[in-house]
Amino acid sequence: MPPADTQQSREIADKFAREHYGLRYLLASHPTMRRLKRKQPSQLHGNKNWGAAFLLMEYLQTAPLEQASKILEVGCGWGLGSLFCVKHFHCDALATDGDPAVFPFLNAQAAANGLTLTTEPRRFESFPTEELGRFDTLIASDICFWDDMAEEVYRMIERAIHGGCGRIIIADPGRPPFLDVAEACVEDFYADIHPITANSQRQHRGWILNIENR
C-alpha cells in the first residue's frame, strides 16, 4: 500500500483530471497547472484546454488521420489535439505555439498520458510554404480570435496548400474572424465547413474547417 501522503496527493491529482476518448487531461485547477501558472503565466490565451480542442478531437474520432502520419499543430496551447493524434494514430507530431510558456502545461499533460512529442516555439506567420508542405496534416483549434489574426491564418492556410500539405483541419467555437477565414477558404480552396458538438464536463459547439489538398 502506498504511504498516506502519496495516496492523498494522487487522490487530489485525480480530482482535477478527466479523461476524454482515452486521453487524460488536467483541469486549470489541477495543482500541477496552478503551480506552473504561478511560475510563468501564458500570454496569448494558452491558459487552459479550450473547448475547440474537444471539437477537434470529436472530429478526428470520426475522420481519423493516417497512422504514423506527420502532423503540425499550430497555436497548440496545452496540446490536446497533438496528444490525441499521437495516442490514437501514432502520429509524428510537432506541436508549436507563439507563446513558449504553454509548453510546460503541454508536457504535464503528455506525462499524465505517458506520451512524448516534439514542441517548438513558433508563430504561425513564421512557417514558409516549403516547410508547411512537409506535413501530411496541419491541425489547430481556436487560433483565430482577434480580427487582425484572420489575415495571418488565411495566409498560413494558403501557404500550406501551395506547399502541398495534404490536409488542413481547424476547429473553432465560431468566432467572427474564424468564420471570415472559413468563408474565404470555401471560395478559394473548396474547403468544407460544418457544425460540430462535443461533450466534456460541458457541451461545446462550433465549427470544423476541413481542406483536402491531395
Ligand X SMILES: C[S@@+](CC[C@H](N)C(=O)[O-])C[C@H]1O[C@@H](n2cnc3c(N)ncnc32)[C@H](O)[C@@H]1O
Q: Please count the residues of this chain forming the interface with ligand X, following the rule CB under 6 A.
A: 23
Which residues on neighbouring strands pair with residue 196, listed in sequence order?
Answer: 206
Check residue 139 and report its DSSP letter.
E
Of 8-16, 97-105, 128-136, 202-210, which segment contacts ligand X by CB under 6 A? 97-105
Interacting residues with ligand X between 36 and 65 (CB under 6 A): 44-46, 49-50, 52-53
What is the distance of C-alpha 147 from the center of its chain?
20
Q: Count other C-beta atoms under 10 Å from residue 198's C-beta.
A: 22
Stretch that binds ligand X, among 7-15, 30-38, 98-106, 128-136 (CB under 6 A): 98-106
- Per CB under 6 A, the list member of 82, 109, 119, 141 interacting with ligand X is 141
Residue 171 C-beta: closest distance to ligand X, Å: 7
* Residue nearer to ligand X on the CB measure, 124 or 189: 124
60's grid cell: 478526428
Among positions 33, 59, 75, 110, the unique one binding ligand X when judged by CB under 6 A: 75
Quote the CA–CA distance of 188 and 180 in Å, as a whole number.
Answer: 12
- Does residue 23 bind ligand X (CB under 6 A)? no
E strand or H helix that includes residue 182: helix 176-189
Does residue 97 bind ligand X (CB under 6 A)?
yes
Would you list the DSSP string of 140-166?
Answer: EES---SGGGHHHHHHHHHHHHHHT-S
Q: Please check whether residue 177 is in contact with residue 146, taking contact to mean a CB–CB distance below 8 angstroms.
A: yes
Q: What residues between 168 and 207 interact with ligand X by CB under 6 A?
A: none
Nearer to ligand X, 88 or 155 (CB): 155
| 3-class secondary structure, 43 | coil
Please report, as ranges, the residues that interact with ligand X according to CB under 6 A.
44-46, 49-50, 52-53, 74-78, 97-99, 102, 123-125, 141-143, 145
